[in-house]
Amino acid sequence: MRPMSAIALEHPRTRTTAVRGGIGRALLFVLVLAALWGLWEGYRWLWIREGWTKPFVVNDITMPHLYGIFHQLFVPARVNGPQLITLLCHSALFTAKEAAVGFGIGATVGFALGVILSHFGVLRRGLLPYVVASQTIPIIAIAPIVVVGLGNYNIAAWLRVAVIAAYLTFFPVTVNTLRGLQSADPRAIELMHSYAAGGWAILWKLRVPSALPYLFSAFKVSATASVVGAIIGEAPSSIPDGLGGAIINFNQYYTLEPKNLWATNLVAACLGIFFFLAVVVVERLVVRRAPEHLA
């Protein structure tokens, strides 16, 4: 071989180190989970024993046992009905559909808006304040308007909820698209000019790939936000099929059976985490970047 081949290459991670890293991470996850569990039960036990009432009274209503919450998942929700977890899984699936479509719409619109705003300085200066303002309006104030407004157009109820999820999703994508597109190396842009590349080629071959790490940071925020948006959006639409419907339902019976609501929250959190992890997986597959440059 020629001498230059002797130049050291960065060694890819070997399989054993990857496995060891995976085991370590799993162990850490279990440890933190155990610690949180201990904190919850310890707090509960201490406050009940000492009879403390600040900041709130601790009893089976305000803080059920964690194992009780888990156990509740496997108790039939109605007499002779299916287990709670079966119901909640159906609800979660329904909400996931709304959230996923909402995320898709929001990410697409957010990205397109970012590209347009980054390209036209006048629009950026003129419109950006309103884009920011759109996010200062509470979603519960927007939701009924969207749901009722779109209802006039014969759009399916779940799709209207998806629009609300999209409303919560697009903003981080727009902001990060703007930043990401500007992050391209100026010399790389000069290089593209030297190839007589047009704006479109520079956008797709340089600016967008440069923006990908920024985009994925936004997608991570947006993915979880879309789940929250879908859950909140179900309330004013009175859709009973999703997690939002389940939460409203169990809210009304909270003093009778608080564990149902807690179990629902648990499933909602899992759905959010699932969305987040899905983005992480896609990022791993799509973004090819030096490890130190990964956002």
CB closer to other proteins, 9 vs 256 = 9
CB closer to other proteins, 47 vs 216 = 216
CA distance readout (Å), 142 to 35, 113, 138, 151, 214: 39, 20, 7, 14, 28
The verdict on 127 binding other proteins (CB under 8 A) reads no
Helices within 51-83 (DSSP H only): 66-72
Question: Residue 192 in contact with residue 208, Cβ under 8 Å?
Answer: no
- Give the number of other Cβ atoms within 10 Å of residue 160's Cβ: 23
What DSSP assignment string belongs to 228-269?
A: HHHHHHHHHHT--SSHHHHHHHHHHTTTT-HHHHHHHHHHHH
Site for other proteins in 268-287 (CB under 8 A): 287
The verdict on 75 binding other proteins (CB under 8 A) reads no
Burial class from Cβ neighbours inside 10 Å (0-12, 13-18, 19+) for residue 18 reads exposed
Nearest distance, CB of residue 103 and other proteins, angstroms:
23
CB closer to other proteins, 66 vs 280 = 280
CB closer to other proteins, 215 vs 235 = 215
CB closer to other proteins, 2 vs 78 = 2
CB closer to other proteins, 145 vs 201 = 201
The verdict on 10 binding other proteins (CB under 8 A) reads yes
Instruction: Spell out, one character per residue from 169 to 208, where the chain touches other proteins: x when CB under 8 A holds, - when not.
Output: ----------------x-xx-xxxxxxxx---x---xx--
* 123: three-class secondary structure by DSSP: helix
The verdict on 54 binding other proteins (CB under 8 A) reads no
- Give the number of other Cβ atoms within 10 Å of residue 159's Cβ: 14
The verdict on 7 binding other proteins (CB under 8 A) reads yes
What are the residues binding other proteins (CB under 8 A)?
2, 4-5, 7-10, 185, 187-188, 190-197, 201, 205-206, 209, 212, 287-291, 293
